Amino acid sequence: MSEVQAVSRRWRRPPVLIRNDFWRRAIYSGALLYLLLAIGTLEVDWQRAYEGLERGARFLQGFLTPDFTSRFDQIQRGMVESVTMTVCSTMVGILISVPIGLGAARNISPLPVYLVCRAIISVSRAFQEIIIAILFVAMFGFGAFAGFVTLSFATIGFLAKLLADDIEEIDPRQAEAVRGTGAGWWQVVNYGVQPQVMPRLIGLSLYRFDINFRESAVIGIVGAGGIGATLNTAMDRYDYSTASAILILIIIFVMLAEYSSGYIRKWIQ
Amino acid sequence: MPVWQTEQGPAWRHRTTTAQWLHWLGWLLAAMAFVFCWQIMTVDTKWFFVKDAPSQAADLFSRAWPPKWSYVNTLWRALWDTINIATLGTLIGVILAVPVAFLAARNTTPSHLVLRPFALFVIVASRSINSLIWALLLVAILGPGILAGIIAIALRSIGFVGKLLYEAIEEIDESQVEAVQATGASRAQVIDYGIVPQVLPAFAGICVFRWDINIRESTILGLVGAGGIGLQLQSSLNTLAWSQVTVIFALILATVIFSEWVSSRVRKNII
Amino acid sequence: MLSIEALTKRYKTGDLALKDVSFSIERGQVVGLIGPSGAGKSTLIRCINRLVEPTAGAIRLSDVDIPKLGRTQLKTMRRRIGMIYQEYALVERLTVMENVLSGRLGYVSFWRSLSRRYAQKDVDKAFGLLERVGLSDHVDKRADELSGGQRQRVGIARALEQDPELLLVDEPTASLDPKTSRQIMRLICEICREHDLPAIINIHDVMLAQMFVDRVIGLTAGEVVFDGPPAELDHAALTRIYGEEDWREMRKAADEAAQDASDAAAFKAAEEERMAGTV
């Protein structure tokens, strides 16, 4: 091979992500400039943060000695509220999501229905649970009911959107074949669409159950019931041992929900 | 879907009798669970307030509209803080998540018995706790302010980025890794040449995706005192200044839509 | 050069993949390893650079017993053994040049490889190899932009960039069409001759093996059942390797392919004649 040896040529690695020279420089220097500005305008009270470390140590201490018993009543009530809120809102959410999801699929719905359903989905997705919860607490008063309405509403945005996207991606030949037999709209949905999207709908519902539980632990902070409210109270009282007990419970419940829903999803498919 | 013989020839039904019963039983159980949960949940519900909700809503709307647009001028600084919380938080979270992901992935972890379970625990703990709760804890420790917000976002991002990244690492094509190993490369070189190029696009996508989510989440961290536009939201809510709340909502909405647009553009260009 | 003695591999599942395999290879000899799928061909060559850990036996390359090496020594040994793969096993998202340079990984420090600052002589060598395999125009293309034959050429260049003393080749043509297969086999064998490099080539295509290699080893159920020059590979030997039925099947398929080819040639000739006639 030495006889075909090329003359010394230099080689430099070509840029990895952005190959265009101008854009690469512009984006990198823009990012750097932003970072400098962001850090420069950061207002941090380091003195206060430093003092907080001692409190952090206390918190860590509290976290390592979780106290489930002294406020057991409140913890239990919060947990039961969270779980029941999750169950009810997921079920109601699914029941409402299915028709809206069908309506929001362009390939099986007429344009006006499609637009209305998509609008509902967009509204529900635009704001996160906590903001919706603020509004519903203002309307329904404090407590689990506002949380239930919040989570049901948020479930619609999630499930109906993914269901609709799923239906839009089905194999059109199967639905066409069913339509070709002279089937009506309901029959097309039942025979041509449902079998194709059902497994994913079940999977998504279980996944949403999971998310709803996590969220139920948060919306209590703005007064919508559940374990989040209990946690907030414990933090206000500087009762870190109870707070840590609640956090541990949340982690365990989330893991349980995640593993069991993952298990059921695998079992269904 | 069973077929069986009868005197009139074969017959067909959608389900067997048992399957049909189980089917109905499933629905029944679901309905019962719902009613049961519903009753427990609504024990403390004041139905008077629920019935009153439409008039409350009407009242709320009348106070929220028209929005007090001039209020927006006091919000720019808070918006800038919000974006910084999200971006710096994502940055820190991603930097911490990368080693965690490599420790958690089955094919790159140096120790299956100690480090992998530890990394998985970090991921689960970070994911189970919402950033608002992280912020609640950090505000108690570090005091109110933007720093608590940044760290809260970072802590929540570790789990999200770590999980998706380690799944991406586990899904790589092992033959490419094997080929790099066979050249006599060291462990670090195998990661650099065999693994990083394979997960880089997924990684970039995950980061941008998380940044988008973090922008959303950082808008409300102020509710517990962790800086950003949520602080203004909290004070407007406390003074029942609903016309200001509307302005804040509109600004949050615009920011969220913008970040979603950016993130989908970037992800489309990566893939 | 390379000698293998009583090599045995038993997988954790209990399957005995290699039974007491022994042979040795001289400098510059190209060996074709044939046998039905599941015979242990792939396991055998992976035992040599220990991508698969052998259970028992000795593998000596220039008097170093490979199974006894520690981690660091193994790395040094691996860089002396080049490997070419069935599905190319290129790092798809790196450029052609980076893939070829990755052959130097065993020689350079981590920081050098991370920053891609290779010594100029490594880069020169890579350029030379890419020219040799006919890919000079594709240096900065990403590997996944290339066709199958081109990718396998990159794989060859990567293996040679290691300055290997031995080449292990695992089904180099299994993912390629017949014409490209022949080109790739010819290229590998030519290069081995140029460098006086010994090679073990796993190959399922007996005809292709007979065309190019110096020596054939037949493996059946983990045992060597044939070892000799390709000319001695007769009907009886092939029956021993593949079993009566499979060998007949294979030959029939090959005959049909040959028939198709000659039919096509005849058709083309007739066509040309007709064209000539009309003119």
Q: What is the pLDDT of residues C129-152, one digit of tens each?
A: 999 999 988 888 889 899 888 999
The C-alpha atoms of residue A254 and residue A213 are separated, in whole angstroms, by 7
Query: Same structural domain for residues B28 and B119?
Result: no
Q: Give the model confidence (pLDDT) of B228-268 as tens digits.
A: 888 888 888 888 888 888 999 889 889 988 888 888 888 88
Q: Is B201 on the interface with C (CB under 8 A)?
A: yes
Pick from B197, B271, B183: nearest CA to C94: B197
Compute and round to an integer the Cα radius of gyration of chain C.
21
Third-level CATH fold of A62-268: MetI-like fold (1.10.3720)
Q: Which of A181-195, B69-83, B104-118, B173-187 has the lowest mean pLDDT?
A: A181-195
pLDDT (tens digit, 9 = 90+) per residue, B40-51?
887 777 777 777
Average pLDDT in the C265-269 region? 71
Neighbours of chain B (3+ CB pairs under 8 A): A, C
> How many residues does the structure list for chain A?
269
Domain assignment present for residue B31? The answer is yes
- Please say whether the beta carbons of C172 and C133 come within 8 A: no
CA–CA separation, A200 and A195 (whole Å): 10
Mark the ranges of chain A whose per-residue pLDDT is less than 50: 1-6
Peptide bond before residue A99 is cis, with ω within 30 degrees of 0:
no
pLDDT at position C260 over 90: no
- Does B86 share its domain with B151? yes
pLDDT number for residue A150: 92
B164 pLDDT exceeds 50? yes
Residue B110 sits in a domain whose CATH number is: 1.10.3720.10
Q: Are residues B13 and B131 in the same domain?
A: no
pLDDT exceeds cutoff 90 at C240 = no
DSSP state letters, A68-105: -STTHHHHHHHHHHHHHHHHHHHHHHHHHHHHHHHHT-
Name the domain count of chain B.
Answer: 2
Nearest-neighbour CA in chain C from A78: distance (Å): 51
- What is the share, in percent, of chain C residues with pLDDT greater than 70? 96
* Cross-chain residue pair B182–C93, CB shorter than 8 Å: no
Q: Are B213 and C130 in contact (CB under 8 A)?
A: no
pLDDT at C279: 47
pLDDT of residue B270 exceeding 80: no
- B205 touching chain C per CB within 8 A: no
DSSP string, chain A: -GGGPPPP----PPPSS---HHHHHHHHHHHHHHHHHHHHT----HHHHHHHHHHHHHHHHHHHS---STTHHHHHHHHHHHHHHHHHHHHHHHHHHHHHHHHT-TTTS-HHHHHHHHHHHHHHHHS-HHHHHHHHHHHH-SSHHHHHHHHHHHHHHHHHHHHHHHHHTS-HHHHHHHHHTT--HHHIIIIIIHHHHHHHHHHHHHHHHHHHHHHHTTGGGGT--SHHHHHHHHHHTT-HHHHHHHHHHHHHHHHHHHHHHHHHHHHH-
B104 in a structural domain: yes
Does the distance separating the beta carbons of A12 and C128 come in below 8 Å?
A: no
Cβ–Cβ below 8 Å for A128 and B141: no
Question: What does the pLDDT average to over C225-253?
Answer: 83
pLDDT at A1: 43
B80 in reach of chain A (CB within 8 A): yes
**Whole-number average pLDDT of chain C:** 87
User: Which residue segment(s) compose the domain that B3 sits in?
Assistant: 1-38
For chain A, the structural domain boundaries read 11-41, 62-268
Q: What is the mean pLDDT of chain B?
A: 87
Separation of alpha carbons C222 and C236, rounded Å: 19
**pLDDT score for A225:** 81
Contact C96, C141 (CB under 8 A): yes
Q: Which of residues 7-66 of A touch C (CB under 8 A)?
A: 8-14
Residue B44 lies in a domain: no
Decide if C85 contacts C155 (C-beta within 8 A): yes
In angstroms, the separation between the Cα of residue A20 and the nearest Cα of chain C is 14
Place of tokens 């992976």: C46
**B125 vs A3, more confident:** B125
What is the spatial distance between Cα C186 and Cα B104, in angstroms, rounded to a whole number?
Answer: 45
Contact at CB, C87 and B181, closer than 8 angstroms: no
Same domain, B144 and B235: yes
One domain for residues B127 and B252: yes
**Is B160 contained in some domain?**
yes
Which residues of chain C have a CB within 8 Å of the CB of A6? Answer: 124, 127-128, 131, 136
* ipTM computed for the complex: 0.82
Please say if the pLDDT value at position C33 is more than 60: yes
Question: Best of A11, A12, A16 to disrupt the C interface by mutation (most C CBs within 10 Å)?
Answer: A11
- Closest chain B C-alpha to C57 CA, distance in angstroms: 21
Chain A positions in Cβ-Cβ contact with residue C116 (cut-off 8 Å): 12-13
Residue B133: closest C-alpha in chain A:
A218
Q: Whole-angstrom Cα distance, residue C217 to residue C202?
A: 10
What per-residue confidence (pLDDT) applies to B107?
87
List Cβ<8 Å contacts ≥24 apart for A43-46: A43/B145, A43/B146, A44/B145, A44/B146, A44/B147, A45/B143, A45/B145, A45/B147
Q: Does A4 touch chain C (CB under 8 A)?
A: yes
A19 φ, ψ (degrees, to nearest 5) = -80, -25
Whether A17 has its CB under 8 Å from any CB of chain B: the answer is: yes
By C-alpha distance, the chain B residue nearest C95 is B197
Task: Tell me how many degrees the CA angle C140-C143-C146 measures, rounded to the nearest 5.
Answer: 100
Interaxial angle between packed helices A240-268 and B115-128, expressed in degrees from 0 to 180 and rounded to the nearest 10: 100
In a domain, B62, yes or no: no
Q: Which residue type is seen at C228?
A: G
pLDDT tens figures, C89-132: 899 889 999 999 999 998 999 998 888 889 999 999 999 999 99
Residue C84, pLDDT score = 92
Most B CBs within 10 Å: which of C51, C71, C91, C99, as the mutation test of the B interface?
C91
Give the model's pLDDT for residue C243. Answer: 81
Give strand pairing partners of B104: none
pLDDT at A269: 64
Per 3-state DSSP, what percentage of chain C is helix, strand, and coil (rounded to 5)? Answer: 50, 20, 30
pLDDT of B1 reads: 56
Q: Are residues B18 and B93 in the same domain?
A: no
Contact B198 C91 (CB under 8 A): yes
Report the share of chain B in percent with pLDDT over 90. 31
Residue C275: band (very low, low, confident or very high) from pLDDT cuts 50, 70, 90 = low
CB A9 to CB C124 under 8 A?
Answer: yes
